[in-house]
Amino acid sequence: MSITRVLTFSFSGIDPVPVEVQVQMTRGLPAFVIVGLADKAVTESRERVRAALISMGIALPPKRILVNLSPADIVKEGTHYDLPIALGILSAMDILPQEELMHYAALGELSLDGAIGAVNGVISAAIGAASEERGLICPHSQGSEALLGGDIDILAPSSLSSLLQHFTGKQILSKPEFSELSPPEKGPDLSEVKGMEGAKRALEIAAAGGHSMLMIGPPGAGKSMLAARLASLLPDLTPHQSLAVTRIYSSAGLLPNSTPIIRPPFRTPHHSASQVAITGGGVKVKPGEISLAHHGVLFLDEFPEFARNALESLRQPLETGNISIARATSHITYPAHFQLIAAMNPCRCGYLGDTERECHRVPKCKEEYTRKISGPLLDRIDLITNIEPIAPKDIVNVASGETSEVVAQRVKLAREKQLSRQQLLNNEINVNHITLDQSVAEMVEKASLQLRLSARGITRLLRVARTIADLALKEKIDIPSVAEALTFRQR
Ligand SMILES: Nc1ncnc2c1ncn2[C@@H]1O[C@H](COP(=O)(O)OP(=O)(O)OP(=O)(O)O)[C@@H](O)[C@H]1O
Ligand SMILES: [Mg+2]
């Protein structure tokens, strides 16, 4: 009894796991069964496959059709198994030659009329196909997306019948092409922020060293405005980073025009977002906001308003650069190497320190408000900066400051220095990477005793000092660099 086999993939996070679709047709009571830990979307595949074949004038033979998704011990989710199942059946019916299918992996969703619809994870599937030394059959609309995964033979048919015509030599499919890159959108510019030199300086340091930052200031001080301009200070992603980020968006089904993402992502989840929305997971596992912010910025506005468990779940990824999600039978890991930028008011009423406007509950109101942010989380933030609102008269009188382009150039130079010295940005270096002169070391020691900094706090202080020195193109961390870094640790 012959068995036909078609290669496809399941996904563990963004990693492709090869799955073989095995089809066996035997005599017996007519039946169509799918086994191999298939979820509901996969078992429903039977009906779509049956309808798609009927639309092509092909009726399933009155036999017992058994489809096994192997290995049978990993859960199969999603609709992309439709196409490989249909191909396996067509091959078992001798309509498609098995030898042709041996050269490809396949994924795609079938609609009732036999059209092949878009699915998530095409780039990762192409990478998987390349490592299995095969080509890839994927939906027509995602041909250019598959190209991003590797230099392999790609067939992107719009329907099952056009694929059949290709394999029978009636009408050969044309090769997909890279879609044209549209110029990245220019976000808001830093020059629109008047005055606020201290805050802008903090933003520049954060951009240069990839440091996490918390901005504290009264309502309307310009915190959200500043954060939105951080993206414009960051350099383009490297090709390696771009592929990593694009894969995540592809696996989340968030890559509508099949072009690679080349600018660092900037994600701004609302404070009502659930922990699952932030970290990823759920019944059908999806990457969360922290993974969608991979190699980019996660901006949490109104920081203390986020659910406590959502905030606490940031601690592990902030250290490791990835997030591990526990499932019933396995763990799934998504990359989540992001720069955390947070903003908050100093207290619930927002006017702490403003003698005219602060509420009568000071200072209790501050304590209650900030208590939602735990010490260990604050300890992971490199820069804590107080945002002083610009005086009303200055909003009109002060001239516009530097443009994002000018600041981005300094950030670029500082980043180049870091990468050539240690292959990492300063937010990731450890104390071994940092050498200090005697006098500077003494100053750090004294300050850390005074401020009661933890070991992690000292490391973070030195990382920021290193970035400040890099922005000034200094080889060594000097006393002024440490002094400025210290201003971002006091609370
Ligand atoms: N330095 C500034 N230069 C120009 N406009 C400013 C400046 N500061 C504030 N504004 C104006 O005030 C508006 C409010 O600023 P923004 O929303 O950033 O405040 P916020 O600190 O985030 O306040 P909240 O705590 O209420 O969220 C901005 O959209 C902008 O129009
Ligand atoms: Mg705001």
For residue 185, the model assigns a pLDDT of 76
| pLDDT digits 0-9 by tens, 214-237 | 999 888 889 999 999 999 999 999
d(CA 226, CA 299): 11
Last-in-domain residue among 385, 414, 443: 414
Token output for 176:
């997909």
Instruction: Decide the pairing of beta strands 135-137 and 154-155.
Output: parallel
For residue 355, the model assigns a pLDDT of 66
Which residue stretches of the chain have pLDDT < 70? 1, 350-363, 490-491
Domain assignment present for 172: no
Whether residue 271 sits in one domain with residue 201: yes
Whether residue 276 sits in one domain with residue 134: no
Backbone angles phi, psi at 268, to 5 degrees: -130, 75
Whether residue 345 sits in one domain with residue 456: no
Which residues are CB-contacts of 118 (< 8 A; sequence separation ≥ 6)? Answer: 109, 139, 141, 142, 253
Q: Are the C-beta atoms of 252 and 292 separated by less than 8 Å? A: yes
For residue 41, the model assigns a pLDDT of 77
User: Cβ(188) to ligand 1 under 6 A?
Assistant: no
For residue 352, the model assigns a pLDDT of 66
Last-in-domain residue among 381, 414, 447: 414
Residue with token string 């006091």: 490
| pLDDT digits 0-9 by tens, 461-490 | 999 999 999 999 999 999 999 999 999 976
Q: What is the DSSP string of 213-281?
A: EEEE--TTSSHHHHHHTTGGGSPPPPHHHHHHHHHHHHHTT--TT-PPP-SPPEE---TT--HHHHHEE
Q: What angle do CA 40, 42, 46 make, to 5 degrees?
A: 105
d(CA 292, CA 244): 10
Number of domains in the chain: 3
Domain assignment present for 139: yes
Token output for 477:
């961390």
For residue 121, the model assigns a pLDDT of 94
Domain assignment present for 177: no
For residue 399, the model assigns a pLDDT of 80
**Maximum alpha-carbon separation in the chain:** 88
For residue 350, the model assigns a pLDDT of 67
Q: Where residue 272 sits, what CATH number does that domain have?
A: 3.40.50.300
Whether residue 343 sits in one domain with residue 452: no
Mapped onto helix, strand or coil, the DSSP state of residue 478 is coil
Angle between helices 404-422 and 455-471 (to 10 degrees): 120
Whether residue 443 sits in one domain with residue 468: yes
Domain assignment present for 10: yes
Domain assignment present for 399: yes
Domain assignment present for 385: yes
Q: Which ligand is closest to the CA of 216, given by its number? A: 1
Whether residue 245 sits in one domain with residue 277: yes
Domain assignment present for 179: no
Residues in the chain: 491
User: Cβ(41) to ligand 1 under 6 A?
Assistant: no
- By residue range, what is the domain housing residue 337? 190-414
Kindly give the distance from the C-alpha atom of residue 271 to the centroid of ligand 2, in angstroms, as a whole number: 12
Whether residue 235 sits in one domain with residue 325: yes
Q: For residue 32, give the H/E element and its range.
A: strand 31-35
Kindly give the distance from the C-alpha atom of residue 489 to the centroid of ligand 2, in angstroms, as a whole number: 22
Atom 5 (ligand 1) nearest CA: 193
Whether residue 275 sits in one domain with residue 229: yes
User: Cβ(225) to ligand 1 under 6 A?
Assistant: yes
Angle between helices 160-167 and 82-92 (to 10 degrees): 40
Domain assignment present for 176: no
Whether residue 300 sits in one domain with residue 205: yes
